[in-house]
Structure 1
Amino acid sequence: MEVVYSDDCLLHSPPKELTRGEWKTYTESPSRLVSIKQFIDKNTEFKVVSPDDYTLAPILAVHKREYVDFLSTIYKDWVDAGLPKDTVVSEIFGHCSMVGHLEPEEWKKKALETPSGRIGLYSFDLSVSFDKDTWLSTYTSAQIVLSAAHRLLQQSQTAKTSSIYALCRPPGHHAAHDVAGGYCFINNVAVAAKFLQDYEVREMEALARLSKVKKEQTLPKPAVLNKNNKRRILIVDVDYHHGNGTQAIFYDDPSVFYISLHGSPDYPYFTGSGTETGSGDGAGYNLNIPLDPITTTDAIYLDHLEKALNKPEIVEFKADIVICSLGLDTWHEDPVGGIKGLVDPLTYTKIGKLLKTSASCANIPVLFVQEGGYTIERLGELAGKVLLGYLSTENTT
């Protein structure tokens, strides 16, 4: 299995965060990727490759331009305003009770006048911290996932089954069209899904070549090749936390089926119930499976995942590509999440196998994208269990 990776993802490293009333070392640290990369480097089943650059165009197919501009400039704006250089973090957010009676353009114009206002406009929690390298790591993380999507599509043209792993950070599944949160700035999975729908291999190759000779000011427009018959994308989110950003982005889109298994009640607190099933044309294409983090065991978790991946409506969706939001914070010792009954590492092997053998996934390319997971000393083992579980499974369907 190819693993797309870049050391640039290690650069984002804010010093502190405020979580549940406690100041502590920033949890979403570079050591997360270091742990996984050490495992990858020791196993011959994996081949590490570097990402290409596909410009901002695929990112802008998901995220609003003014939001992306904010992400790329906020650190400089903050420092230029004479504020502390070590980290950029919000102190206030635009809650609906405060601004709901105003015209949106009125209060947004006011928010844009200061760096603190801009952070409050474009983020929803205190985990959104910027340092001097945050944008580089965020941009590289997205390019890693785009590169993995491109290579997966190339592989699928000649292989019966294909898979690839995007080893990246910051993670993405909490970021929506124009808001960051939960350590997430760009929604990597959403960007990859749109990229796979908007481009064929030859256009992906052309975009990568173009990035080497043109500046971002002359961005090419997405080709949108399959607008009448888009590739159908099945997103399987096994992170401990509900992927509120991914859900929001595709909530009315029938070409993307989103499944999330997550601990509940827990962060992000406002989303993730079983009643959230999509809206408009996307009604019925969103499946949340909230699990009690205290009583859920390995067997219960796997039973829910297996049943979901074999549901008739998901099988009949006939996905062309599966994207797995690979969160590893379900492990019972995780300091941020942790399902207390997930104590057997083989559960992660079985997750990998289900993503190959289930009726909705059989013979379909799978893109694994790294999301959460904070038990640093176990991350390499847990990621490896999922990936090797997928690779070791003989597909008999």
Structure 2
Amino acid sequence: MTVLDSRALNRATLARQLLLERADMTPSDAVSHLCGLQAQEPQEPFTGLWSRLRGFDPAALDGLLTGRTVVRTHLMRRTVHLVTAADVLAWRARHEPMLRQRVLGTYRRELDGVDLGELASAARAVTSDGEPRTMTEIAAALAGRWPAPGRRALGEMVVAALVPMVQTPPRGLWRVKAGVRNTPLAHWLRREPAPPAPDGTDPVGAALVRRYLAAFGPAASADLRAWCGLAGLPAAVAAVRGELIAFRDERGRELLDLPDAPRPDPATPAPVRFLPAFDNAVLGYHDRGRIIDDGHRGLSVEGARVVLVEGRVRATWTVDAGTVAVSPLRGLTRAERAAVVEEGGSLASFLSGGESDGVRVTEG
């Protein structure tokens, strides 16, 4: 079986994630291809798409959100993602057991004795008019019947798990600061999420395997689970295994992939790319060594924005008074520094509408 080293996996990841070269793709198609974008920080998806798409216009993503083609919702790993309306309608029921268990993992003691079916029914009644509400407002409407759990536990369970919700605009629009207000997914999209398959099969799981590999492969089953948070996927993997090809990584793990997916020559040069906080190019794997050194792995869960140099995380970045400030994690060569300054300057101009003071790179 062919062994793929970390460089080969890195270049495959960059290609699938649209980071090896910017794509001529619409924002909607990009969100779909990437299986959603991590979006708990509402402005970060704009940087994620700018780094991936040629000529990206933030107004296009705003239009998708206000036009209800793309939504903000709790989904993979119970985190807020930007996903297409088609995907959330297809995937939401498959994720619901995981969403419930993850909320219970935080609030099990507070929610002990609460009938979650009754809570879900009451929450649907409270939100049936479609009026966008804060989580606090939803919890307050339920607290008279369930006073013991506390409003945070009630609100989290309802909004993140029991009732499929979307976070309504202006939350998530370009350069807009707005709090989270929730409305039922079915009301926002005027369609109910697809129910689970009645025959015990898992077509959604099988589709997730294919879609994940298209955007993240080659990858191990543990990587797939780390990305979506779902249990019970071995059967879905087994169902599509005949469509896939297999490799090994240098640790001996089996890696699965789509036969015709891009696997560039490992010698392919990789451009500098600036990634937003919690980007799935880093978070979407159990083994993140293909893109970030183990010693810096903590950055991926701390919300650090990172810079890829030759395809790997080599710096972090922030914005300070209109300047993109880059802090290398190790020394940069003269050529690397020049490439970081060039790409960082373009990012600064994008973020500021052309009124930036540019980029500053500290000594690494």
**Fold shared per TM-score above 0.5:** no
Greater CA radius of gyration, 1 or 2? 2
Structure having the larger proportion of residues in helix:
2
Q: What's the TM-score, normalizing by structure 2?
A: 0.30
